[in-house]
Amino acid sequence: MTLKENDKAPDFSLKNQDGKTVSLKDLEGKQVVLYFYPKDLTPGCTTEACDFNANLAAIRKKGAVVLGVSFDDEKKHLQFIKKHGLEFDLLVDNAKETAKKYGVYQLKKFMGKEYMGIVRTTFVIGHDGKIRKIFPQVQVDGHVGEVLAAL
């Protein structure tokens, strides 16, 4: 299944870094910036998370919340948050179900090897639960500015 803009965003219920369940349906009425990233504490993922964090006030001013999703566990997410002072939730998708629902669990190639993993992608979900904007295969530099423009 390939999601498109204006499709209803698939619901999810995932644990955050504190073990608390976060569901899309619980955020109804808010805009959600849902970004999928490969791995905590890696260069590109750190840059992306820190950019979102640095622009969090502007994002919140537009009535949006930011949620990061990767396959890392709660402990690794908490370490990432503490190390970089992140002020938004990171969600654990260790069963890969949400990544599959959103179509971001794909075949990747790195240094001549093929493997399945998260393709860095951001979804802007509107107040009505519909996908307003999809940023596939995100290039980290300048990405948060694009997201802000889409809110």
pLDDT digits (tens, 9 = 90+) for 60-106: 999 999 999 999 999 999 999 999 999 999 999 999 999 999 999 99
**Is residue 1 predicted with pLDDT exceeding 80?**
no
Q: Residue range 133-141: average pLDDT?
A: 93
- How confident is the model over 96-125, as a mean pLDDT? 94
Mean pLDDT of 35-48: 93
| pLDDT at residue 85, as a whole number | 97
Quote the pLDDT of residue 109: 87
Q: CA angle at residue 99 from 20 to 118, to 5 degrees? A: 115
The Cα 118–Cα 39 span in angstroms is 9
- Note the Cα 100 to chain centre separation in Å: 13
Contacts of 24 (CB under 8 A, 6+ apart): 9, 10, 11, 12, 32, 34, 125, 129
Which range is least confidently modeled, 47-51, 83-87, 98-102, 107-111? 107-111
Six-digit token string for 33: 């910036």
- Active site members: 45
Q: Do 22 and 14 meet the contact criterion of CB atoms below 8 Å apart?
A: yes
Q: Which of 43, 17, 19 is nearest to 120 (CA)?
A: 43
Domains, the chain, ordered by start: 28-150 (3.40.30.10)
Q: What's the mean pLDDT in 48-55?
A: 96
Over residues 18-22, mean pLDDT = 97
d(CA 99, CA 110): 19
The count of other CB atoms within 10 Å of the CB of residue 102 is 23
Distance CA 35, CA 98 (A): 11
Residue 111 is predicted with a pLDDT of: 86
Does residue 21 surpass a pLDDT of 70? yes
Can you give the pTM of this predicted structure? 0.95
User: What is the structure's pLDDT at 82?
Assistant: 97
Q: What percent of the chain has pLDDT over 90?
A: 89
Mean pLDDT of 16-25: 97
